[in-house]
Structure 1
Amino acid sequence: MAGEILDNKGRGEAEWEWPAIHPEGRKLGLIAAGLSAFFLLIVGWGIIGWPLALASAGIFAFFRDPERVVPQTDNVILSPADGIVTLITETQPPFELQIDDGTGAACLPSGMVTRVSIFMSVFDVHINRTPVGGTVRRVVYIPGRAISAQLDKASEENERQHILVERSDGIRVGFTQIAGLVARRIVPFVKPGDILAKGQRVGLIRFGSRVDVYLPAGTDARVMTGQRVVAGETVLAEIGMRGLIEGISQ
């Protein structure tokens, strides 16, 4: 079939294809397109119709959902988001992922860990993916403010949703979806008890946002600030691997 790569030996055909549009975006895009058609074709108000047409195209582009090639190496932690790495810092995991919530669900231990923050602009794909495969132990939604997602304090003040995934070997990785200035809704695709494959879609954040990943203790980031990462493909870290990495700013 055209557009499908059958294997990694060069067999099959490949060509560019339009990425799929997530259902969350289809309805918004169609509403904008319908209003555009109304003002252009019925009312004749191009000053409103054409901006709505552009808005419709922008909405469809924002909610694009391309396929990804997920690395299958067991010990890697993948990026959950497309975007730019803006912060790598040592910090405590979120309080909501450390406390006993009374359900008996697993939690993260206290102690300093490495946090990798990924900022998504409105031009990035906003479908988020799980950095590891395993069982969803917690999904905690917290209402909050809407300050710039690029600021460090957004991790504690903005609307956010924490997700904790436990691998089959007991290693747990927490990550947080954070709404930004224009983001107004975090849409989850998973719930506690769900079993996820590595790189599986777990949710989206509308219109600009950030995702923080809390690496397990004893694990350092394999990316640098300023680096562009791709959800479900870029390796953020290897479990248990430590050490400084260096690069050249270009």
Structure 2
Amino acid sequence: MTIHKEGRVLLAVLIIILVGINGAVYYFTNPESGWFTISVIASLIVFVLILQFFRSPARPVSDNDIQVIAPADGKVVVIEKTIEEEYLKDERIQLSIFMSPVNVHVNRMPVSGMVEFFRYHAGKYLVAWHPKSSTENERTTMVVKTAGGQKLLVRQIAGAVARRIKWYVKEGSRLRQGEEFGFIKFGSRVDVFLPLNAKINVEVGQKTKGGVTVLAELPGKSNES
């Protein structure tokens, strides 16, 4: 288990702040009052809570051209047909994964392929399960074209707690299935828009593991390496 790069500076600053707070408590209060002990315990709890937001477990990088793997740890909250209006302009199966504050926040490529389209949108911070969060919240939209010609749209969505989306791709980038493409600080949601002929392998309420759980299968023959 390692600490993700997005959290290293924040955690270092947090340590300095907590050390300063505990030093002040020790200096300005009576040691026998117990306030210093309470301060230290509270500081440790805060640090551990923030630390777990930025854990980055190693996950295998796979390459199965018909499987669509989960882009995030979390829980499946939506599986429904919808019209994707930003880029694909057609009917799709939308599969949404909600990332709670206790989940790993790393986002991984659901398929191997080339990034055909990428956009960042500033926006609101509605709760992630709000019906309008996918079109009004801070978000990114990425369309990946596989070697077999299939196009998948993946959308990172910030929520009420999350205030920062990070991405490490651009149009023309080629990434393998399971590779890291982004990070959402403190949780939120990731949507995947699948073709209508995809075979869905999960159900609403099911927990997912980013880079591991197979969400769906695309039509075609697998060339897994």
TM-score (norm 2): 0.87
CA separation in 1, counterparts of 2:51 and 2:80?
A: 34
Where does residue 192 of structure 1 map in the other structure? 171
Pairwise CA distance, 1:156: 1.5
Distance 2:45 2:203 in 1: 35
**Residue 152 (structure 1) aligns with:** 131
The answer to whether residue 8 in structure 2 is matched with residue 29 in structure 1 is: no
**Among residues 107, 116, 127, which one is paired with 2:95 in the alignment?**
116
| Residue 110 of structure 2 corresponds to residue 128 of structure 1 | no
Conserved in 2, the CA contact under 8 Å of 1:35 and 1:52?
no
CA–CA separation in structure 2 for the residues paired with 1:22 and 1:128: 12
Aligned to 1:38: 20
CA distance in 2, matches of 1:183, 1:160: 11
User: 5+ unaligned residues in a row in structure 2: which ranges?
Assistant: 29-35, 221-225
Deviation at 1:163, TM superposition (A): 0.8
Quick check: which one's strand share is greater?
Answer: 2
What is the 5 A alignment of 1:208-227? 208-227=187-206
Are 1:65 and 2:44 counterparts?
no
Greater relative CO (CA pairs within 8 A, separation 6+): 2
**Match runs of 1:47-86 below 5 Å:** 50-86=41-77
Give, as a single letter, the amino acid of the residue that structure 1 aligns with 2:48: A
Amino acid at match of 1:80: P
Whether the 8 Å CA contact 1:138–1:163 is kept in 2: the answer is yes
How much does 1:49 deviate?
5.4
Find runs of 4+ consecutive structure 1 residues off by over 4 angstroms.
47-50
Amino acid at match of 2:99: M
Asked if the contact 1:79–1:232 (Cα under 8 Å) also holds between the matched residues in 2, the reply is yes
Select which of 41, 59, 79 maps to 1:88: 79
Change (3 A) 1:157 1:220: farther
Q: Secondary structure at the match of 2:16?
A: helix
Q: Which residue of 1 aligns with 2:210?
A: 231
What letter matches 2:45 in structure 1? L
Kept in 2, the 8 Å contact 1:33–1:52? The answer is: no
2:61–2:176 Cα contact (<8 Å) kept: no
> 1:200 Cα shift?
0.5
1:169-204 Cα offsets, whole Å, 9 max, x none, are 221111100000110000111111111011100001
Could you tell me how far apart the structure 1 residues matched to 2:183 and 2:196 are? 27
The answer to whether residue 125 in structure 2 is matched with residue 143 in structure 1 is no
1:150 positional shift: 1.6
Displacement of 1:69 in angstroms is 2.7
Aligned residues: 211
* Aligned residues of 1:121 and 1:209 also touching (Cα < 8 A): yes
Q: Which moved more, 1:69-78 or 1:82-91?
A: 69-78
Contact between 1:166 and 1:172, CA under 8 Å: does it hold in 2? yes
* 1:36 partner SS: helix
CA contact (8 A) 1:35 1:49 kept: no
CA contact 1:90–1:112 (8 Å) conserved in 2? yes
Q: Distance in 1 between matches of 2:199 and 2:66?
A: 13
Q: TM-score, normalised by structure 1?
A: 0.79
